[in-house]
Structure 1
């Protein structure tokens, strides 16, 4: 449990901070929302049909770990996507959204001590904020490892002090990364797996953006496990329908790991989990089994990334995910300027990162979400370019 003192270590969440920053400032033009990564493409039509067909199942308690149909669909998808064979009963756990899993898995797997000392949990910096909350909840020391252009926008865990790595219990890593859109290569995953084996920690691979890309499919950590013969207990991989299928409100994700980890995760979930209602599990199973809607979704994002490249010229456009991580002199000043002069609402990059001895790696950036319709996205990016870069 997080004590009041430890909870005070958390800064205000990014979106309330933005509301405070902009306050009562009036938009300079018709507002365009480009802050939150809330998918706005159409959800697959069959979802409503499946839920309606199984509506009577709302009367029954759902299975805590996932229905056989949902677990089998997740296992089939892992084989199609990564060539990875997972036992659906012993190695996959259905989640009520991956945020639940990213938090509760730390509760299940983080030891009270590591090498006789307080354990450390490493996270990228910038990062998804639940990583830090999970570290504080299990009384570990959160360590923020800067991910910048100098490190390929992914944290260089191998450069850390060996003493820190020896007391590291968990490493969070997001690929494609949020907010930069950087993709871990097979070599990156292999190096991280080797580091985990040498220093005895577990990798929590947050791969929720893995199906949004413009070139080759991003390599997943399970491909590296398969290629290297690494111990699957070294890894917990997390996947979600939120971005893949535009079903953020369905709250369907899953975790995959070795059977030892999974037994401990399921034991905790039996007491604290919030299982997905049966009709929603049936809809999720259908979504994991169907690929045409994912291809259509990816094409919509590809068109917006093509527009971003044309509009922004030399400014960086990532290969995956659906955010732009754009350089500015100061993220907060840029966000205020954009809002008051153009009505475009973006997020200061510093709100996704922590101050470290090397500074806050998000200070000189804004995050821009490309989730809106094509025409709205083009208008927003054009206003942004004219305001900040001309």
Structure 2
């Protein structure tokens, strides 16, 4: 067996199952889960219709093998959306590729970028982080290095904490903006800093932007390609952005997204994917084109989240150190020190007494020189309908009041 598999850490939800293994939730309450970030708003009807029409089409159905690169129409839809959303112009056929969701692409891109012959290769990750970053780095033969986020700076990652000798060995840097779980959006000044480091040391920047369309301010979050354009970088050198329809269009089961950026990297990425067997099914391509070409449903989805967060956040902010994030559908809350509970103890007792599931923050981070930035925090995914999220918030508030 591949010995690198032994280096993988259990996924956060597996650790959560183990934490709850001997605990029974309050039988008098209906269980509510805020633990998993799985969109639960309704899938747009027109997306389902496009899928069904293609499924029964003699040319777009399941009767032939799809091309790994996708259809020209699909890639043109990517380019059109990037132009409308970020005001950037990309070559659809050389600077975009379809992927089966951002998770698959994050993993596969890492295998493409990391040189297995460099024994001391580093992949820099934000901390806390999406665990695919770590697993992809380990299975590529690299060592993850974690840069902590700073609560005092609205959870911005402290890139200055990364030593020069680490940057010198770095082959890939993961950026997540808006961030999971913090919801922080990276400003142009930080992009400028990372581009300068990439130019100096030659590493690739992979920008995970799957939460870009769920935001609470009037101004949409800055994206990697947009930041590069504003800084006069039009060739996207050593930059690849990854995005997805899962959160934007409420189709997590469709596993559809795309990558865009440096044409030389995407050429090699396509070669890797051709062998990896990652072609997107034609009906999914047809439904994806429909979704990327429509913004009305995205605005409606964003409005639902804005209303939900506006109602839920005030209830929780009375008992937890939490505020409205820049973007994403998570609340990243600190547990009051007066409770005398770790994040795991809090999650376990809350599940037992109030039948509400939250994810311990320490499960989403790693020990770093400055400690584990998730310790003492919980992540709450407000993905259910407003009424259910409000009920969960009231139960959390009651729990904190009872134990304070």
Same fold (TM over 0.5): yes
Q: Cα offset for 1:151? A: 4.6
Q: Cα offset for 1:368? A: 0.5
Matched residue, 1:43: 43
Aligned-partner Cα distance in 2 for 1:312–1:174: 25
- Within 5 A, what are the aligned runs for 1:174-185? 174-185=176-187
Q: Is the 8 A contact 1:124 1:154 kept in 2?
A: no
Q: Cα offset for 1:187? A: 1.4
Matched residue, 2:131: 129
Q: Is the 8 A contact 1:352 1:362 kept in 2?
A: yes
Q: Cα offset for 1:376? A: 0.4
Aligned-partner Cα distance in 2 for 1:317–1:49: 35
Q: Is the 8 A contact 1:122 1:142 kept in 2?
A: yes
Aligned-partner Cα distance in 1 for 2:347–2:373: 17
Aligned-partner Cα distance in 2 for 1:273–1:193: 32
Deviation by residue 1:271-318 (Cα, 9 ceiling, x = unmatched): 103211101101001100000000000011001110123212363221
Q: Cα offset for 1:3? A: 3.2
Q: RMSD value over aligned CA atoms? A: 1.5
* Aligned partner of 1:377 among 385, 389, 393: 389
Residue aligned with 1:354, SS: coil
Matched residue, 1:356: 368
Matched residue, 2:174: 172
Residue aligned with 2:237, SS: helix
Aligned-partner Cα distance in 1 for 2:244–2:296: 17
* Aligned partner of 2:188 among 167, 186, 189: 186
2:309 counterpart of 1:310: no
- Within 5 A, what are the aligned runs for 1:233-244? 233-244=237-248
* Aligned partner of 1:228 among 227, 231, 246: 231
Aligned-partner Cα distance in 1 for 2:295–2:249: 9
Aligned-partner Cα distance in 2 for 1:268–1:310: 47
Q: Is the 8 A contact 1:330 1:364 kept in 2?
A: yes
Residue aligned with 2:92, SS: coil
Structure 1 residues without counterparts, runs of 5 or longer: none
| Residue 151 to residue 199, structure 1, CA distance change in 2 (3 Å) | farther
Aligned-partner Cα distance in 2 for 1:280–1:309: 36
User: How does the TM-score come out when normalised to structure 2?
Assistant: 0.92
- Within 5 A, what are the aligned runs for 1:25-64? 25-28=23-26, 29-55=29-55, 56=57, 57-64=61-68
Matched residue, 2:147: 145
Structure 2 residues without counterparts, runs of 5 or longer: 336-340
Aligned-partner Cα distance in 2 for 1:198–1:267: 27
Aligned-partner Cα distance in 1 for 2:314–2:141: 47
Matched residue, 1:196: 198
Q: Is the 8 A contact 1:92 1:255 kept in 2?
A: yes
Aligned-partner Cα distance in 1 for 2:308–2:372: 29
2:32 counterpart of 1:20: no
Q: Is the 8 A contact 2:205 2:239 kept in 1?
A: yes
Q: Is the 8 A contact 1:112 1:118 kept in 2?
A: no
Residue aligned with 1:89, SS: helix
- Within 5 A, what are the aligned runs for 1:235-384? 235-313=239-317, 315-328=322-335, 329-384=341-396
Matched residue, 1:3: 2
Moved more, 138-147 or 153-162: 153-162
Aligned length: 386
User: How does the TM-score come out when normalised to structure 1?
Assistant: 0.95
Q: Cα offset for 1:223? A: 1.0
